[in-house]
Chains A and B, each alone.
Chain A
Amino acid sequence: MLIEQFSYSNRWRQVHPAAKSVFTLCGMIAGFLAHSPITASIMALLLIAVTCLGARIPLASYVRVSAAPLFFLLVSGTTLAVSLGWQGGFPWLCLESSQAQLFAAAHVAGRSLVCLTALLFLALTTPLNDLIALLRRIGFPAVLTDLMTLCYRTLFVFVEATHDITTAQSSRLGYASPRLALHSLGIMVASLTVQIWQRSLALHQSALSRANDGPLCFLTPDYPAVAGSLFVGILAGCALIALAMVRI
């Protein structure tokens, strides 16, 4: 929800999503091309600076949003950096590593970090709606964009429904003990399943009543200075790729 909130309220909300997407794509390419872990780290810091200073995302919120993926990155980086080995005596199993292995792990983690910060830039500056509209405009299959539109909308409807049900259950001690919690959870899942079925029927009727008999069509939003923002996005993206080539 924090990502959602910032995607609508950041300073670059009105910048064309294509410009932000191109910059993100270039950032990810630059991440793969990063020559060393140090280069990758510099690029990741640059992307964080662009997101926090350029789009005005508070650093504390950025840290909160990135905490979960950073944790996974740390776990996977650690497992790459060390490996299990055998030794003659007790306890037989030991952790091993080497200079080359550490470098390789740092390199992979650095590249992943660049990709992560690039994607966070896009997620925090561009509402999913705008991205779906962009996909529609560039000819992405309608069935997929329709599914994305409906899933995105219904996500919030069901978050609300789940919240209402758990509140109602909690108010009647539905989560007072682990056994009751499991029982309440089961009832909630069953209730949501029925709601999903009813909701899909209602959405279908609503679409019919608004003269729909094919793909879902929506107005594409207008953005100011499209060419200019695209140019800046491409230029900044190319600069990132050039930086990735620098040997540090």
Chain B
Amino acid sequence: MTIPDSATIMELREASYRYPDGSRGLDQCSISFERGMRTAVLGLNGAGKTTLFLQCNGVLRPQTGKVLLDGTPLNYGRQGLSNLRSRIGLVFQNPDAQLFSASVREDVSFGPLNLGLSISVVRDRVEQSLAAVGMSEYADRPVHALSYGQKKRVCIAGVLAMAPEVLILDEPMGGLDAAMQAELAAVLDQLHDNGMTIIIATHDIDFAYQWADRINVLEAGRCAASWHATELPRVIDKLKRFGIGVPKVAELHRHLVDAGLAAGGQPPRSHQQLLHQLAALCQVQ
């Protein structure tokens, strides 16, 4: 479990939530997210990732425990929720569940208009956020004429237009081909470079290891582990127990080192970095 400090922007303290049908959402879950970090939340299906994100955005309220923003418990009043949702943006897993309007530009304007911003500000924000996700030329297209990946980008633009401090994405890479995943990762990197805190839920531990600063593992509604991404190669055996897989590049690097075919030191985070290390080793020899 992470220890909250001044860098913590959002935190859940022993939060529990059960859905009306009795199914478990969260169970005494304690987890925190640090400002300016790229955090990946890993977990099997039904581990509670979506419930956790809905709690962070104030859509669901914990039945026991607390959700804190900047160290202060959330205010679930009308003004408090409006303030929370302007700071914490949530992109849902299924774009068809998030897109309201059949027009791209209209849909992106939905969030900022709800914040009570003036029309001219909303227009600027809509254009800026569509440009940020590379969808400016699709602004006048109908939503139903877009591909799945393009719809995902429109969803992100719709949340970016609210200018949140924290962007939460639920399974952003799900259903995207490799090229679209690379494009989306570039968009996320750009946003992070601009100072945004980004939290994503994913099943792809290779992507999480390569992209994230911090990795949290959810299991049965609880945060079962939290590591800095660079620690993952040292906890491969623990990762195997969670059933979420292990970063292949880290595992391969360990075997190469054991076989004396690669140098020790800081393990590579990506396939590309491993190739560079091997190429450098070949040159030395």
Chain A residues engaging chain B, CB cutoff 8 angstroms: 4, 8, 127-129, 133, 149-150, 152-153, 156-157, 160, 199, 202-203, 205-213, 216-219, 221
Name the CB-closest residue of A to B98: A206
B226 proximal to A (CB < 8 A): no
**Cβ A219 vs Cβ B100 within 8 A:** no
Assuming the contacts A209-B85, A210-B111, asked whether A152 and B94 have C-beta atoms less than 8 A apart, the reply is no
Give the complex CA separation of A199 and B59 in angstroms: 16
B158 proximal to A (CB < 8 A): yes
Assuming the contacts A205-B54, A217-B110, A217-B113, asked whether A128 and B102 have C-beta atoms less than 8 A apart, the reply is yes
B35 proximal to A (CB < 8 A): no
Name the CB-closest residue of A to B78: A213
Q: Specify which chain A residues have a CB less than 8 angstroms from the CB of B119 in the assembled complex.
A: 219
Name the CB-closest residue of B to A7: B142
Chain B residues engaging chain A, CB cutoff 8 angstroms: 54, 57-59, 78, 81-82, 85-86, 89-90, 92, 94, 96-103, 105-107, 109-111, 113-115, 119, 122-123, 126, 140-145, 158-159, 162
Which of B92, B102, B105, B111 touches A211 (beta carbons < 8 Å)?
B111
**Cβ B106 vs Cβ A206 within 8 A:** no
Give the complex CA separation of A210 and B59 in angstroms: 10
What's the least CB distance linking A235 to chain B, in Å? 27
Q: Specify which chain B residues have a CB less than 8 angstroms from the CB of A206 in the assembled complex.
A: 92, 97-98, 100
**Cβ A211 vs Cβ B103 within 8 A:** no
**Cβ A210 vs Cβ B158 within 8 A:** yes
**Cβ B99 vs Cβ A212 within 8 A:** no
**Cβ B105 vs Cβ A205 within 8 A:** no
**Cβ A203 vs Cβ B106 within 8 A:** no
Please provide the 7 A-B residue pairs with the shortest distance between their CB atoms, ordered closest to farther: A219-B109, A202-B97, A156-B144, A218-B106, A210-B111, A217-B113, A211-B114
What's the least CB distance linking B35 to chain A, in Å? 21
Give the complex CA separation of A206 and B58 in angstroms: 11
**Cβ A4 vs Cβ B142 within 8 A:** yes
Name the CB-closest residue of B to A159: B144
Give the complex CA separation of A220 and B59 in angstroms: 28
Q: Specify which chain A residues have a CB less than 8 angstroms from the CB of B143 in the assembled complex.
A: 153, 156
**Cβ B92 vs Cβ A219 within 8 A:** no
Assuming the contacts A202-B92, A211-B81, asked whether A129 and B142 have C-beta atoms less than 8 A apart, the reply is yes
Give the complex CA separation of A79 and B141 in angstroms: 43
Q: Specify which chain B residues have a CB less than 8 angstroms from the CB of A153 in the assembled complex.
A: 99-102, 143-144
**Cβ A8 vs Cβ B142 within 8 A:** yes
Residue pairs across A and B with Cβ atoms less than 8 A apart, 10 shown, are: A149-B102, A156-B143, A205-B54, A208-B58, A211-B162, A213-B78, A218-B106, A218-B107, A218-B109, A219-B119
**Cβ A157 vs Cβ B85 within 8 A:** no
**Cβ A217 vs Cβ B114 within 8 A:** yes
Give the complex CA separation of A205 and B100 in angstroms: 12
What's the least CB distance linking A89 to chain B, in Å? 61
Give the complex CA separation of A84 and B109 in angstroms: 59
**Cβ A216 vs Cβ B96 within 8 A:** no
What's the least CB distance linking B51 to chain A, in Å? 11
**Cβ B82 vs Cβ A219 within 8 A:** no
Most B CB contacts (10 A, CB to CB) among A128, A208, A211 go to: A211
Give the complex CA separation of A205 and B105 in angstroms: 21
New A-B pairs, 8, CB < 8 Å, besides A129-B106, A206-B98, A219-B106: A127-B103, A129-B102, A202-B97, A207-B100, A209-B89, A210-B111, A213-B81, A219-B126
**Cβ A205 vs Cβ B59 within 8 A:** yes
**Cβ A150 vs Cβ B103 within 8 A:** no
Q: Specify which chain A residues have a CB less than 8 angstroms from the CB of B162 in the assembled complex.
A: 210-211
Q: Specify which chain A residues have a CB less than 8 angstroms from the CB of B82 in the assembled complex.
A: 211, 213
Q: Specify which chain B residues have a CB less than 8 angstroms from the CB of A152 in the assembled complex.
A: 102
Assuming the contacts A157-B96, A202-B94, asked whether A129 and B113 have C-beta atoms less than 8 A apart, the reply is no
Q: Specify which chain B residues have a CB less than 8 angstroms from the CB of A211 in the assembled complex.
A: 81-82, 85-86, 111, 114-115, 162
Most A CB contacts (10 A, CB to CB) among B86, B92, B101 go to: B101
Name the CB-closest residue of A to B86: A211
Q: Specify which chain B residues have a CB less than 8 angstroms from the CB of A205 in the assembled complex.
A: 54, 59, 92
Assuming the contacts A8-B142, A156-B102, asked whether A208 and B94 have C-beta atoms less than 8 A apart, the reply is no
Q: Specify which chain A residues have a CB less than 8 angstroms from the CB of B90 in the assembled complex.
A: 209
